[in-house]
Structure 1
């Protein structure tokens, strides 16, 4: 099954691609985590997201999906956490983006939470940032809750980029000069240095 965007365009993200990334995460993590044996013995299929926001000082570390079902309260927390801190507004974050972030994190075999630089951006914030930088798209997927800009202290931008690209779930941008990776659930593509 290929997901389609609201305008009917193929987003490039496939259920099979994301499931493959989560399966690879479980296989990759198995030898490294002490609790992996319990997971593999039927401890349940779970997805977790851990992030820190330097802008708000908030941290989130939660399971948002269990046994094929999203946890509504968990998604609400993620929506709030990924809000536009400048305007204190939030929208529903696309679960495909959340899944890409979680799968990439798992592929890197890291316990450190992501540092989120940008999640949802209101049109007002996007316009302000666009006036200051050529690197901000006029129709940014951040305004649709479909993108995040992330970094990790324990992994290089290149390592993060490769993990996100391996998910084959959307757009991945490498911003080495600014030390972050952009992940979105739009068309599968990659860019950056």
Structure 2
């Protein structure tokens, strides 16, 4: 899985953008154009601000998508929140002060065809960072911070 090209299909809910992004290639490593496209897609859409996105987060998105594609779910990752600038983050109910979103290290995601529970279980199984379970809101938070789990 890790030695083949890493491509993700992401749908940004707030803007209806949908991109198939080639991020990494075995002979070339991380691809600049794909990385820039991913950073733009995961931008703070309200503030119109783009920030560098953590490569580990992009790997997590790829791993999650690879898992559910292998299990017969052919849908894009729907990102409801990526990078958030600190000022906007302060205005979001329930957002923590040092949110990983403000560092470009977190995304809130859902996938049509998977329950929130299934997506949460798969994300937690990666043991690659923090995973928040938000069944009432229909998304899973993933980040590249320390390994931890919570329900919101």
The one of 105, 118, 130 equivalent to 1:146 is 105
What is residue 21 of structure 2 aligned with on the other side?
62
Unaligned segments of structure 2, at least 5 residues: none
Native 8 Å contact 1:118 1:149 kept in 2:
yes
State whether residues 21 and 37 of structure 2, in contact with CA within 8 Å, keep that contact through their aligned partners in structure 1. Answer: no
Confirm or deny that 1:77 pairs with 2:37. Answer: yes
Contact 1:105–1:163 under 8 Å retained in 2: no
The aligned residue for residue 5 of structure 1 is: none
* Greater relative contact order (CA < 8 Å, ≥ 6 in sequence): 1
Cα distance, 1:116 vs structure 2: 0.7
Among residues 131, 139, 149, which one is paired with 1:180 in the alignment?
Answer: 139
Query: Structure 2 residue aligned with 1:117, among 80, 83, 90?
Result: 80
Residue by residue over 1:105-153, the C-alpha shift from the partner in whole angstroms, topping out at 9 and shown as x without a partner, is 2112232001110000011110111xxx2x2111100000000000112
Count how many residue pairs are aligned between Structure 1 and Structure 2: 148
Q: Does 1:93 align with 2:53?
A: yes
Structure number with larger C-alpha Rg: 1
TM-score by length of 2: 0.92
Query: What's the secondary structure of 1:60's corresponding residue?
Result: strand
Task: Give the TM-score normalised by the residue count of structure 1.
Answer: 0.73
The Cα shift of 1:54 comes to: 2.1
Alpha-carbon distance in 1 for matches of 2:56, 2:124: 14
Higher helix share: 1
Aligned to 1:107: 67
Secondary structure, in 3 states, of the residue corresponding to 2:140? strand
Maintained 8 Å contact 1:48/1:61: yes
> RMSD value over aligned CA atoms?
1.4
Structure 1: state its 5+ residue gaps.
1-21, 24-43
